[in-house]
Amino acid sequence: MTRPPLFPALIILLTAHSLFAQPRHWPGDARGERLIDSLIRVMTIDEKVGQLVQYTAKGRDSLPGPSVSAEQGELIARGRIGGIFNLWGATATRAAQKIAVERSRLKIPLLFGLDVIHGYRTTFPIPLAEASSWDTAMVEQDARVAAAEAAASGVNWTFAPMVDIARDPRWGRIAEGSGEDPLLGSLMAAARVRGFQGGDPASYVSIAACAKHFAAYGGAEGGRDYNTVDMSERTLREVYLPPYKAAVDAGALTVMSSFNEIGGVPATGNHALLTGILRNEWGFRGFVVSDWMAITELIPHGVARDTLAAAALAFNAGTDADMESGAYRLFLPRLLREGKVTSPLLDEGVRRLLRVKFALGLFDDPYRHSSLELERSTILSPDNIARARDAGRRSIVLLKNAGGLLPLSKNIRSVAVIGPLADDRADPLGPWDALGRPEDVVTLLEGIRNAVPSSTRLLYARGCTIEGADRSGIALAVEAANDADAVVLAVGESSAMSGEAASRSTLDLPGIQNALVEAVASTGKPVVLVLMNGRPLSIAWAEAHIPAIMETWFLGVQTGNAIADLLFGDYNPSGKLPLTFLRTVGQVPFYYNHKNTGRPPVDTSKFTSRYSDLPSSPLFPFGYGLSYTTFDYGSVTLSPEVIDTAGTVAVDVRVKNTGTRRGEEVVQLYVRQDVGSVTRPVRELKGFQRIILAPGESRRVEFSLPARDLLMYDDSMRRVVEPGTFTVYVGTNSRDVTEGHFKVRER
């Protein structure tokens, strides 16, 4: 390993450090802290501020790819930039790193950040889809693949996982998260952090994670991106904060502050959040980076008069690094001179930055995450592609299968493959596809072709476009349906309709796709509706008229093969919804863990909490998802039935596969606190287990439910377990459950 020439004062320390070339430990490696001390001692103010400055590379879409501009190169050489993002490729990142470690005075390596959200080049299912697998081991493994590919390309920092809870499907970024539940969201958050960072972030296949967007970005009013968030501290702490905490506990090296305000205080200038909760309560030791330009956005938010004031507010609140706005570079030195930012605080910010660089092993080998050879062997490797296919099929949720229409027989004579997404190569990549490329995608039509014998006739008709109004293709689609034994109809959204700045005011299928669905359904042929989208859509008509429906979200490069695996029974569906499917957008917000109210809805009773023109139930409940087999749940046994506030209840249930196929089931455990000092949700997910059962096989599933899982914020905002009675629900989703009861008494 060649070490770059370093500032002489550091050589001894670094030599000593590399003698102990073993995995570094995060947080607080003593050698790292000594190295950082010695650096901070010799850094000028401009060099310190430089570490806090992050800029995007130029020319994302140019060929052969992005690069740092001449001006940025100069700033790097002068130690005025600590990290570059949107730069990738071993060649480009090495060239930029070379400037930092050969031309800058202190030779501090750069961070290279990128939104590696669901894969680097091997695009995996979008996070909302992967959350539908309820399979944390798979999610961790997929994040590892993404990390290894990105790292080979020189990227050492991903702006992921996005762990924002979302209860409003109009919000486009719901696609990037894990849905509406704090426990599922927390487990997914931790799994992704472990996946990106591995056991050792300094490994050449690991990159730093960034839990975002802190905090409560998903609570935007009206589901409109960037909008105001206003919620009680109880909801913030019980529902929205747990996934960020889980990411921090899993060792996330960085956190991104969010664009939104919470109750009048924008997150990026929010001392209570960034310093109070994140650092003081949770003990986070990495650095906080602002979201893109979020520091100067404190001006339109109306809490800073100008960029100088914005920089002071953000930095003093605890935003260590400035993404793109330039406010710190321009004004932190002056704020320091004027005493509006203190030197110890600046040093602390720099320390946090350097800690992450140290944890990534960049002081040992700044080029660690960058290798042409690894780029060639890792990216899109057959192994990675196989994992993407498996992730794809595990992420699909079977919503309806009337009369056992699915799986289709492979001996079927003809299939009409219809719809704007049926042979679409670009949209299945989903939003935030990093380096995903349409040419890597297996379309649904191709996947079906791969699955059936060549004797099966495939009739393809697009029918219409995703958003257009042209109906002229519908007749051909109907003709194809009429000529076939079965129809696979792929409809949904474009990838650009979800993700950032992609909120929608309706959850309907866009364009004239409803007309296409109705026309194809009217042929009377057996139709399988395949949905591709970044949010749950309102599909009430389809649910009432189409026999089989699959929610496939956006599955990435192996879309077609993964869906075909389910269509023809090579894989038995096991996905479960990570959020509630509404009948119509008018039900928003509607989440399973809601409060009961004083007048719980009764559809036949006027003066109850309901809409007069809709059933009160969702279209599909949280946790819902069918299999090609059926599972039967026995009664729930609890023991003991009385515990104290330090005790544990064992929850037991027998689950039997009553169908004819081997199948995987996600057994779900929910709890309700019957009476509290404050109102409690009607049920809350407390655990789940994945089991595989052969036909006829039954198994006892046991959950251990410690009283600490019942912690809540009481009427004085103390975090306690309140004695009282609790109802336990176990089942195949949040609605279809069997229940039991236990009691918690004082200790």
Catalytic residue numbers read 291
- By CB under 6 A, the count of residues binding ligand NOJ is 6
Whether residue 407 has a cis bond before it, omega within 30° of 0: yes
Give the chain's end-to-end CA distance (angstroms, integer).
59
Whether residue 213 has a cis bond before it, omega within 30° of 0: yes
Q: How far is residue 747's CA from residue 744's CA, in Å, rounded to a whole number?
A: 9
Residue 112, CB half-sphere, CA atoms under 13 Å: how many?
35
Tell me which amino acid residue 503 is: S
| Binding status of residue 500 toward ligand NOJ by CB under 6 A | yes
User: Minimum CB separation from ligand NOJ for residue 433, in Å?
Assistant: 13
Is the CB of 65 or the CB of 547 nearer to ligand NOJ? 65
Nearest to 619 by CA among 586, 648, 663, 656: 586
Given strand 663-673, what is the order of strands in its sheet? 642-644, 737-745, 724-731, 663-673, 684-693
User: Minimum CB separation from ligand NOJ for residue 720, in Å?
Assistant: 35
Q: Which two tokens stand for residue 66?
A: 């992005």
User: Minimum CB separation from ligand NOJ for residue 212, in Å?
Assistant: 6
CA 378 vs CA 63, 312, 375, 557, 690: distances in Å: 22, 43, 6, 16, 30
Is the CB of 431 or the CB of 578 nearer to ligand NOJ? 431
Site string (98-137) toward ligand NOJ, x via CB under 6 A: -----------------x----------------------
User: Minimum CB separation from ligand NOJ for residue 86, in Å?
Assistant: 7
- How is 483-520 classified by DSSP, letter by letter? HSSEEEEEEE--GGGSSTT---S--SPSTTHHHHHHHH
User: Minimum CB separation from ligand NOJ for residue 274, in Å?
Assistant: 17
Q: How far is residue 219's CA from residue 215's CA, in Å, rounded to a whole number?
A: 9
Is the CB of 47 or the CB of 291 nearer to ligand NOJ? 291
Q: Which two tokens stand for residue 585?
A: 């957008």
User: Minimum CB separation from ligand NOJ for residue 115, in Å?
Assistant: 5
Q: How far is residue 172's CA from residue 496's CA, in Å, rounded to a whole number?
A: 9
* Pure H helices in 4-103: 8-19, 30-42, 45-51, 70-77, 90-98
Is the CB of 159 or the CB of 553 nearer to ligand NOJ? 159
Is the CB of 260 or the CB of 370 nearer to ligand NOJ? 260
| Binding status of residue 7 toward ligand NOJ by CB under 6 A | no
Contact call for residues 475 and 520 (beta carbons, < 8 A): no
Is the CB of 214 or the CB of 624 nearer to ligand NOJ? 214
The DSSP bridge partners found for residue 487 are 416, 527
Measured CA angle at 182 (ends 177, 184), to 5 deg? 70
Nearest residue to ligand NOJ by CB is 159
Is the CB of 86 or the CB of 378 nearer to ligand NOJ? 86
User: Minimum CB separation from ligand NOJ for residue 292, in Å?
Assistant: 4
Q: Which two tokens stand for residue 17?
A: 């450090």
User: Minimum CB separation from ligand NOJ for residue 291, in Å?
Assistant: 5
Nearest to 192 by CA among 126, 113, 257: 126
Is the CB of 274 or the CB of 516 nearer to ligand NOJ? 274
Under DSSP, is residue 262 helix (H, G, I), strand (E, B) or coil? strand
| Binding status of residue 225 toward ligand NOJ by CB under 6 A | no
User: Minimum CB separation from ligand NOJ for residue 472, in Å?
Assistant: 39
Is 272 buried (19+), middle (13-18) or exposed (0-12) by CB count in 10 A?
A: middle
Using CB under 6 A as the binding rule, the residues of this chain from 192 to 221 that contact ligand NOJ are: 212
Residue of 88, 112, 124, 159 that binds ligand NOJ (CB under 6 A): 159
Nearest to 699 by CA among 638, 656, 639: 656
Using CB under 6 A as the binding rule, the residues of this chain from 277 to 306 that contact ligand NOJ are: 291-292
Is the CB of 135 or the CB of 176 nearer to ligand NOJ? 176
Give the interface with ligand NOJ as residue ranges (CB under 6 A). Answer: 115, 159, 212, 291-292, 500
